[in-house]
Amino acid sequence: MTDQIRPQPGIMDIALYQGGASRVAGRSDAIKLSSNENPFGPSDKAKEAFVKCAHSMHRYPSTDHLALREAIADVHKLDVSRTIIGVGSDEILHFLCQAYVGQGDEVVFTEHGFLMYRVSTLAAGGTPISVPERERTTDVDAILAACTEQTKLVFIANPNNPTGTMIPLAELERLAVGLPPQAILVIDSAYAEYVEGYDGGAELAGRLPNVFMTRTFSKIYGLGGLRVGWGYGPQDIIDVLNRIRGPFNMSTTQLETAEAAVRDQDWIDRCRNDNTRLRGWLAEALAEKGVPSDTSTANFILARFTSPQEAEACDAYLKTEGVIVRLVTSYNLPNCLRITVGDEPSCRRVAHLIGLFKVQFMAGNA
């Protein structure tokens, strides 16, 4: 490399994203609770659609994604012309930054917000602005206070990852209404389906001119490996994003599998109910063993330990026992572990192991 060949400003400030670990050396039976995946996987109908696609792979995919967009619009009662499909919601977040953010522009998110907000902001040449939360919960007043004439986007995950907390729709609306006129509120609703009766901000994104919602098939739909997400918002924002979207960004396999998945809402209801039950059980079991957590609204629990050392020691101990959870030091939560709600045996195993760990750790520190 010569020193004349340089990337755009900001690019070298991006830390490489570390995904949740998926392996423990020497074990083939590891339980992965580190990436908020649905332990039950996708619906059988989605799997059947995926297999069927093997016969049509010589054909180029649709460029307007209309069949999937119509399925989404049907199920969620949305205006189909205001939907857009991307390679995971990550791609939609990226489009938003690419389209609305340049040098000198600011993008606001919360101190324990999703790491991709920072990555996409820096990739677009913008300046990330991190705002404090209150007790690991989004603080609307702090966000409003951080906005300036340079603010172009405000990203809120609701429920948030990795805290698991959320704020009410009325608070999101208050935030949207209070933003400076050039700023868009992006509600990242990756975990919305886990919250009974919550629309993920769809109604707000349909009504207000500065609210955009992103969704994903990676979490409750059990299709993280397929890479499909979508967005919904004002028509003029959708039109802007479509100009930078590659015409063939989605494969036929992605489109047809996701379409079958979204049409099978019975599967989603079952997964939500199982998650709610097991999440409650796990939170209580951990609390009994001296590991508290905030009430989670998603498919994971942010378990709090007494120190970063204890969290790291517990993470290491769980690994030796073949259970992979997530240290969230990179989210400024060094004394916490994020634990995905797995199936029932996984929940029982992780709770049991953490109980054993706590006893040993307390004894060691006594």
Ligand X SMILES: *Cc1c(COP(=O)(O)O)cnc(C)c1O
Pairing verdict, β 326-327 and 336-340: antiparallel
Contact 187, 232 (CB under 8 A): no
Q: Between residues 151 and 214, which has the closer beta carbon with respect to ligand X?
A: 214
Residue placing its CB nearer to ligand X in the complex, 116 or 278 = 116
- φ, ψ of residue 213 to 5 degrees: the values are -115, 140
Q: How far is the CB of 35 from ligand X (least distance, A)?
A: 8
User: With b meaning 16 or more CB within 10 Å and e meaning fewer, what string describes 127-140?
Assistant: bbbbbebeebbbbb
Which residue, 221 or 357, has its beta carbon nearer to ligand X?
221
Q: How many CA atoms lie within 13 A of 122 on its CB side?
A: 15
Cβ atoms of 325 and 351 within 8 Å: the answer is no
Q: Is the torsion defined by CA of 207, 211, 216, 220 positive or negative? A: negative
> In angstroms, rounded to a whole number, what is the distance separating the alpha carbons of residues 256 and 50?
7
Residue 114 or 212 with smaller CB distance to ligand X: 114
Q: How far is CA 252 from the centre of its chain?
A: 24
Closest CA to 37 of 20, 16, 17: 20
Residue nearest to ligand X (CB): 88
Q: Which residues bind ligand X (CB under 6 A)?
A: 36, 88-90, 114, 157, 161, 188, 190, 216, 218-219, 224, 229
Closest to ligand X by CB, 97 or 157: 157
Q: What's the closest the beta carbon of residue 364 comes to ligand X, in angstroms? A: 34
Q: Which is nearer to ligand X, 83 or 161 (CB)?
A: 161
Reading the block at residue 280, the tokens are 């409650």
Contact between residue 22 and residue 32 where contact means Cβ atoms under 8 Å apart: yes
The one-letter amino acid at 293: S
Are 325 and 22 in contact, with CB atoms under 8 Å apart? Answer: no
How many angstroms separate the Cα of 258 from the Cα of each of 62, 219, 255?
Answer: 14, 12, 5
Considering beta carbons, is residue 89 or 346 the nearer one to ligand X? 89
Question: Nearer Cβ to ligand X, position 223 or 353?
Answer: 223
- Which is closer to ligand X, CB of 166 or CB of 351? 166
Q: What is the DSSP string of 41-77?
A: -S-HHHHHHHHHGGGGTTSPPPSS-HHHHHHHHHHHT
Provide the residue type at 309 as one letter.
Q
